[in-house]
């Protein structure tokens, strides 16, 4: 057996021992230094981080502001609605057993209250997993019988509570639906932060504007959110909660609408597809903005919005379209007064006589007049009164498309008016360049003749026609249309047009004659001088020839207070169909009687 000899004759080298001791000392020092940093120096930071992880931030939406008309009548409001909710964390069961306990309790509640279950087990599990500290809504807007029952048996129903929440209501149902708009759940999560710059962990249910004024002025109506803080334990159960910032209610919104006049206009439309507009030409205030068909705004308030959306999207007549600002139509003869002003500016003499035979045949075309056998000899004023197509075709060919395009741009055709509503259409004014680019053919005098009578490729919205009519009413100036004045009674003056006063007065005389003895007699009201123009524009609908019919008017003709424009789909004639709607609005505004006129008179066909 071999035995190693560790005798002093083989001494261990001292430097190795010293190196080992030094390394051990350094490692121990580093460990102690890091322990000191973690336990002493960094303790406040780690403590704050640990505390921060236990906090949850809850956004509390502010009460939504009301919408009112110019006289203080309520158009949109809030009422208390009571929801049955379940605080799942109060069941205090571990893991999946919380879901089972919550699900069993919901079934028990449904049986005892006689209410159908509206939330699935999957939704319950998702809520417990992602939003345990927040109330789980089981039923919304329950009746007082349910509230009374839950109050009486609350001790036997752990975690069940009745939570009051504001519900948006529209007292007038479908009245002014396209103007007011509606609310709904936010389309995507808001990027707003807490007052300390952190993102919200939870949000109580809130409503945001989705259409109309509710959407356009959502930042005013919605108010400012408040903040509630929660402290939770490692399992997510709430240990403490407090409100650190109260929500601020939204501001009320006063509109320029006149609720009474709006009701008259919508009743006169009688759900026929079309639009009616009434505005104050002196400042642009919109008194009426009606579109038909419409829908009950209360049916769009969650949780009822889903089925309503599906039904309305499939409904005939496209009730979601605001025809006053979004639908684009050929203006027909309501475009003629502007062509008359343009012609005079290009040295056309209004006393020029023309022999109307009932058809325009220049340049190898055949454009018929509303009067089958012609109007005979007539001048510019009479041509406006009778709405003579051959007269305006001839005049338009003389002055050219450039003159027509120029005046169209002056009064705002082909561009949005700037009304404070979303999704306004801009219409279209054709040009030789557009036709060459689009159809690869040159512009010709027939195209100009078509534009001169408001047909062809030209399109406008009813609001554009109303605003343009106000430019004639105010003798060459007009204002931006608005639904909210914000205390400004003067309005926003858009343009003063380079029109000669005598040219405007010639057209106004023709428009007065239209109402007094021409195609617009159905717009007459007792004791008021009304100036107006009718229009009819043909279009094809799945192979069937139909007509858009128009009437636009202002009164009193000598000192206008109101402009009214009405457009109806699929009518017979402007004077016959749209004129009586204008008449009812004017009669109600001036608190006078409508003059009785035979609406079936053939002279009212345009």
**pLDDT reading at 1 higher than 50:** no
Specify the pLDDT at position 363. Answer: 84
Q: How far is 104 from 330, CA to CA, in rounded Å?
A: 63
**pLDDT reading at 422 higher than 50:** yes
**pLDDT reading at 333 higher than 70:** yes
Q: Give the strand pairing for 274-279 and 136-139.
A: unpaired
Cis ω on the peptide bond leading into residue 270 (within 30° of 0)? no
What domains appear along the chain, each with residue ranges and CATH number?
A: 56-254 (3.90.1310.10), 259-296+321-604 (3.40.710.10)
Specify the pLDDT at position 195. Answer: 58
What does the H/E/C string look like for 125-181?
HHHHHHCCCCCEEEECCCCHHHHHHHHHCHHHCCCEEEEEEEEEECCCCCCCHHHHC
Specify the pLDDT at position 226. Answer: 77
**pLDDT reading at 2 higher than 60:** no
Residue with tokens 């909660």: 241
**pLDDT reading at 335 higher than 90:** yes
Cα-Cα end-to-end distance for the chain: 132
**pLDDT reading at 200 higher than 70:** no
Q: How far is 536 from 546, CA to CA, in rounded Å?
A: 10
pLDDT tens-digit map of 139-175: 988 999 999 998 888 888 888 888 888 999 999 999 9
**pLDDT reading at 359 higher than 60:** yes
pLDDT tens-digit map of 550-589: 999 999 999 999 999 999 998 999 999 999 999 999 999 9
Residues of the chain above pLDDT 90, percent:
59
pLDDT tens-digit map of 230-281: 776 666 566 667 677 788 899 999 999 999 999 999 999 998 999 999 999 9
Bigger pLDDT: 158 vs 416: 416
Lowest mean pLDDT among 221-230, 283-292, 548-557: 221-230
Cβ–Cβ < 8 Å for 510, 336: no
Q: How far is 275 from 536, CA to CA, in rounded Å?
A: 15
Instruction: Write the CA distances from 528 to 249, 307, 558, 591, integer angstroms.
Output: 46, 48, 10, 11
Instruction: Compute the average pLDDT of residues 4-29.
Output: 69
Model confidence at 193, pLDDT cuts 50, 70, 90, reads low
Specify the pLDDT at position 308. Answer: 83
Specify the pLDDT at position 161. Answer: 87
**pLDDT reading at 125 higher than 60:** yes
294: which 2 tokens? Answer: 């419409």
Instruction: Compute the average pLDDT of residues 509-527.
Output: 97
Specify the pLDDT at position 17. Answer: 75
Instruction: Compute the average pLDDT of residues 421-437.
Output: 95
Residues of the chain above pLDDT 70, percent:
87
Lowest mean pLDDT among 44-58, 122-136, 473-487: 44-58
Specify the pLDDT at position 238. Answer: 64
The burial of 547, by beta-carbon neighbours within 10 Å (0-12 exposed, 13-18 middle, 19 or more buried), is given as buried
Residue with tokens 């005798």: 7
Q: How far is 529 from 415, CA to CA, in rounded Å?
A: 31
Q: How far is 366 from 271, CA to CA, in rounded Å?
A: 36
Bigger pLDDT: 129 vs 403: 403
């Amino acid at each position: 057996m071999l035995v190693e000899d560790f005798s002093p004759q083989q001494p261990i080298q001292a430097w190795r021992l010293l190196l080992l001791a030094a390394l051990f000392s350094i490692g121990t020092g580093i460990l102690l230094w890091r322990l000191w940093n973690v336990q002493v120096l960094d303790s406040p930071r780690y403590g704050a981080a640990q505390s921060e992880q236990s906090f949850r931030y809850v956004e509390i939406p502010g009460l939504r502001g009301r919408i009112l008309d110019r006289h203080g009548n309520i158009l949109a409001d809030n009422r208390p609605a009571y929801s049955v909710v379940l605080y799942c964390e109060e069941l205090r069961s571990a893991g999946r057993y919380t879901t089972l306990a919550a699900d069993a309790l919901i079934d028990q509640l449904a049986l005892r209250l006689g209410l159908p279950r509206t939330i699935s087990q999957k939704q319950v599990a998702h809520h417990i997993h992602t939003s345990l500290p927040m109330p789980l809504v089981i039923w919304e807007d329950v009746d007082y019988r349910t509230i009374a029952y839950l109050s009486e048996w609350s001790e036997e129903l752990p975690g069940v509570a009745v939570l009051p929440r504001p519900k948006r209501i529209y007292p007038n149902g479908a009245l002014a639906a396209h103007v007011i708009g509606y609310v709904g759940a936010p389309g995507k999560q808001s990027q707003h932060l807490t007052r300390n710059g952190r993102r919200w962990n939870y949000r109580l249910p809130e409503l945001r504007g989705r259409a109309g004024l509710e959407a356009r002025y959502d930042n005013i109506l919605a108010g400012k959110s408040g903040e509630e803080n929660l402290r939770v334990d490692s399992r997510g159960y709430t240990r403490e909660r407090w409100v650190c910032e109260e929500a601020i209610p939204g501001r009320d919104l006063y509109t320029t609408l006149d609720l009474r006049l709006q009701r008259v206009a919508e009743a006169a439309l009688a759900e026929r597809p079309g639009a009616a507009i009434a505005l104050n030409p002196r400042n642009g205030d919109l008194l009426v903005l009606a579109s038909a068909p419409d829908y009950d705004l209360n049916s769009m308030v969650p949780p009822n919005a889903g089925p309503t959306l599906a039904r309305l999207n499939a409904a005939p007549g496209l009730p979601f379209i605001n025809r006053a600002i979004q639908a684009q139509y050929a203006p027909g003869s309501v475009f003629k007064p502007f062509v008359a002003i343009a012609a005079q500016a290009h040295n056309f003499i209004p006393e020029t006589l023309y022999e109307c035979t009932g058809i325009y045949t220049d340049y190898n075309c055949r454009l018929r007049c509303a009067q089958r056998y012609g109007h005979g000899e007539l001048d510019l004023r009479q041509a406006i009164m009778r709405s003579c197509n051959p007269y305006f075709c001839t005049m338009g060919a003389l002055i050219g498309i450039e003159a027509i395009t120029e005046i169209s741009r002056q009064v705002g055709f082909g561009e949005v008016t700037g009304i404070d509503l979303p999704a306004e259409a801009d219409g279209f004014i054709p040009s030789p360049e557009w036709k060459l680019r689009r159809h690869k053919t040159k512009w010709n005098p027939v195209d100009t003749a078509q534009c001169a009578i408001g047909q062809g490729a030209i399109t406008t919205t009813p609001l554009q026609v109303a605003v343009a009519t106000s430019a004639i009413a105010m003798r060459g100036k007009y204002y931006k249309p608005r639904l909210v004045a914000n205390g400004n009674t003067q309005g926003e003056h858009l343009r003063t047009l380079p029109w000669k006063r005598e040219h405007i007065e010639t057209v106004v005389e023709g428009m007065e004659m239209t109402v007094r003895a021409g195609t617009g007699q159905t717009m007459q009201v007792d004791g008021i001088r009304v100036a107006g123009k009718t229009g009819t524009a043909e279009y094809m609908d799945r192979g069937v020839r139909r007509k858009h019919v128009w009437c636009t008017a202002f009164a009193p003709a000598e000192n206008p207070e109101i402009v009214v424009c009405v457009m109806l789909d699929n009518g017979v004639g402007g004077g016959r169909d749209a004129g009586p709607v204008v008449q009812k609005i004017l009669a109600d505004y001036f608190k006078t009687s409508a003059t009785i006129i035979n609406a079936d008179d053939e002279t009212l066909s345009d």
